[in-house]
A = this chain, B = another copy of it.
Amino acid sequence: MDGPLVDKGPGKAQYPLVKEGRCRNCTRREGTLCDVLTCDELDRLDGFMMIATFDPGQTIFFEGDNLTNYYNITEGVIRLIKLLADGRRAILDFLYRGDFLGLNAKGQYAYSAEAITPVRLCRFPRPQLQAMFADTPKMEGRLLGIYTDKLVANQQRLTDLARKSPRERLATFLLDLAKKDGLRCGDGGILLPMSREDISDFLGLTIETISRTFSAFSKEGLLEIQQRKKVNILEAEKLEAIAESL
């Protein structure tokens, strides 16, 4: 039970697992699935929960794999990926601390998940968590709320991809990032955990267009870029006006 899991993909490192779950004392429940549970219920969860960690670039699971585990992110950033048959890539979402991971498409993962930064996860085997769902309706209700919010967010993203220009998309993206804490560094700047290629696959553009648009924003004095990853938004209102086509 405490040993590493089997390999998933070709050349994949084994999962580093540590049995140390102390759900009852967890300080990161806010807004997550386990937020609604009593102490007893948290102990039950604890009984089958495992901590897993991943290094940047590691794959947590692949699209189409049998769905064996659900996860909660307690630390780090993850990208959700879908590929077309010829290798073109789309990033569905970036996930952060507190996000729930493991969308069920007929018993299989609906997307691949990869760590962008060092990541720490609570891992729940599917049978046990589903059994707990069945016994704990409020937990199911919580997941329904989470999925409702995800649907709303995805529909905004569909609208953006269908109808916004590259400038508008990047402005929208940066402002959304700025709303997340955990990325903020000191002076109101944000530290982008993802590469330009990640951003381009998220926004449906090329890496060059992303780069050019960053440069344009910078030249126009809307923002400041330091060492490529750190962005200071200087003119939030103007950026907002671009994002919302006002």
Q: Please give the residue numbers on chain A whose beta carbons come within 8 Å of chain B beta carbons, in ascending order.
A: 80, 82, 84-86, 88-92, 103-105, 110-111, 137, 140-141, 143-144, 147-148, 150-152, 154-159, 161-164, 201-204, 244-246
Shortest beta-carbon contacts, A-B, top 7? A162-B204, A137-B137, A90-B159, A90-B162, A161-B161, A82-B159, A88-B163
Whether B162 contacts A158 by the Cβ 8 Å rule is no
- The answer on a CB contact under 8 Å between B84 and A163 is yes
- For A88, list chain B residues within 8 Å (CB): 163, 245
CB distance from A11 to the nearest CB of B (A): 25
Residues of B within 8 A of A144 (CB): 140, 143-144, 147
Q: In the bound complex, do residue A86 and residue B245 qualify as a contact, i.e. CB atoms below 8 Å apart?
A: yes
Which one of B85, B105, B245 contacts A246 once the chains associate, using CB atoms below 8 Å? B85
Contacts of A203 in B (CB 8 A): 162
CA distance A84 to B89 in the complex (A): 26
Q: How far is the CA of A202 from the CA of B144 in the complex (A)?
A: 26
Give the residues in chain B near A92, CB-CB below 8 Å. Answer: 155, 158-159
In the complex, A89 Cα to B164 Cα: how many Å? 10
Shortest A228–chain B CB gap in Å is 23
Knowing A151-B147, A151-B154, A162-B204, say if A245 contacts B85 (CB, 8 Å): yes
Q: Are B152 and A105 in contact (CB under 8 A)?
A: yes
Q: A6 to chain B: closest CB distance in Å?
A: 26
Please indicate the chain B residues that have their CB under 8 angstroms from the CB of A86 in the complex: 245
The distance in angstroms between the C-alpha atoms of A202 and B163, with both chains bound, is 10
| Bound: A104/B151 CA distance, A | 10
Known: A90-B158, A158-B161. 11 other contacts (CB 8 A): A84-B163, A85-B246, A92-B155, A92-B158, A103-B151, A111-B155, A140-B140, A144-B144, A151-B151, A154-B158, A163-B201
A163 surroundings in chain B (CB, below 8 A): 84, 88-90, 201, 204
Once bound together, how far apart are the Cα atoms of A203 and B91, in whole Å? Answer: 18
CB-CB under 8 A from A85, the residues of chain B are 244-246
Contact yes or no, B158 A155, CB < 8 A: no
**In-complex Cβ contact of A152 among B103, B155, B246 (8 A):** B103
Set of chain B residues within 8 Å of A80, measured between Cβ atoms: 155
A144–B148 CA distance with the chains assembled, in angstroms: 9
The minimal Cβ–Cβ distance linking A35 to chain B, given in whole angstroms, is 17
